Amino acid sequence: MKAVSLEDMISGPVRAVIMGQVQAANAAMDYIRTIGFEDDSKGKFTRARTFEFSYVHPVSDPENPGSVINTPVKMTVPALSMFPIPAIKIDEATINFEAEIMDVDDSEKESSRGTKIPPKVIGRFTRKSSSSDESSLKSTLSISIKMKQMDMPEGLAKMFDRLHESVTVEAIGK
Helix (H/G/I), strand (E/B), else coil: 79: helix
pLDDT digits (tens, 9 = 90+) for 86-126: 888 888 888 887 777 777 777 777 778 878 777 777 767 66
Helix (H/G/I), strand (E/B), else coil: 150: coil
- pLDDT score recorded for residue 159: 84
By C-alpha distance, which of 75, 74, 80 is closest to 48? 80
Q: Is the entire prediction scored with pTM above 0.85?
A: no
The residues with which 148 forms a beta bridge, in sequence order, are 89
Q: In which residue ranges of the chain is pLDDT below 70?
A: 1, 123, 125-140, 174
Strand (E) or helix (H) holding 129: strand 127-129
